Structure 1
């Protein structure tokens, strides 16, 4: 049996090798938008396509012809939409679930295969690394058990994809908020939490929250 892992983040680069060792099945990694084509999938004929972290719209002809499983870092239907990690932490929510759901036309609205509890403590990089491990275990479960997905239940709450300017900490009023904004954007290839004045931009990472102050590394650049 063949399976596809479609993920465009570094944390999932080695997942196919790990899953092949665990399941004795064949896994193919697709990490570029242009490589996820219907023609390629026709050659592979995967049982499932798993999307642990995919930043692009999945073409309709793909999810209508191949069972496609999305992993979303909220307890859906709460938190459908973009930037789930950052939206949760910005709302002061530090415990969530990772939901494995079937890809359908409506965003993050498909029926759910399973959910796993998940903590949002640590930097974004640490959180994503832990999430990759949790998702790996969920994929093994789905392959071994082929659960029937169940329709989502509850109030639907949508998240908007956060923009780079949303990382501005200038208007925050609480030190814990400042700490959370810095850590929730502290991951490879993510725009950092920042401040700007007339001449300079200050970008923060590796934050630590103390009793009455925050320590963080700062990168200072000239404003363009």
Structure 2
């Protein structure tokens, strides 16, 4: 069964007598304490926790120069991304954000099948936590200095429906970039131009 919002989740839980696991994929809402305390709730995070707890993990990893990461399945607790870990799997950070999210989604389903089949006991995280801050829309502005590779990374890490695309402002217009590729000494990308008042970046 699937729930796409908190109301549906509450309804489904109310209809079921016994629930072994609740898996949360791309869930954007706070999960009530009575749910994760009373049901084994498993979420997925795109870092090798405790490194990279917090917001915008994909973008924060690429900004820091990472080429690959771990997709971690962990049990929900009160503190964000601090729960015990069921399993970690390798995840490449190549390609656009949309492509990376697609790979992560496919890997998540593999992990779900493994957890259901093996019912592992999650193990506490070890090491010093490194917490990422959630990125703000204005951080999507294309930097004015740096390398072509850096510009490429900036564009591709935002190239997904869930984030503001990399952009610059030019007079009354906003110019957005996607589908970036480095070819020799050039960076090519698709460009979309629109009026500022429609940008929704504030």
The 8 Å contact of residues 143 and 151 in structure 2, kept in 1 or not, is answered as no
The alignment's C-alpha RMSD in Å is 1.3
Structure 1 residue 115 displacement after superposition: 0.4
Corresponding residue SS for 1:29: coil
- Tell me the distance in 2 between the aligned counterparts of 1:177 and 1:40: 45
* TM-score of the two chains, using structure 2 as the length reference: 0.93
State the match for 1:41 in structure 2: 13
CA shift, 1:140, in A, is 0.5
C-alpha deviation, 1:213, in angstroms: 1.8
Whole-Å Cα distance in 2 between the matches of residues 207 and 127 of structure 1? 15
Note the C-alpha offset of 1:188.
2.3
Paired with 1:201 and 1:178, the residues of 2 have a C-alpha distance of 17
* Structure-1 residue corresponding to 2:200: none
Instruction: Give the count of matched residue pairs.
Output: 196
Structure 1, gaps ≥5 residues long:
1-27
What is the CA distance between 1:137 and its match in structure 2?
0.6
CA–CA separation in structure 1 for the residues paired with 2:107 and 2:152:
25
State yes or no: 1:128 paired with 2:101.
yes
Runs of 4+ in 1 over 6 A off after TM superposition: none
Query: Shift of the alpha carbon at 1:172?
Result: 4.0
Residues 172 and 33 (structure 1), Cα distance of their counterparts in 2 relative to 1, 3 Å cut: farther
Which of 54, 61, 81 is 2:27 aligned to?
Answer: 54
**What runs of 5+ residues in structure 2 fail to find an aligned partner?**
198-202
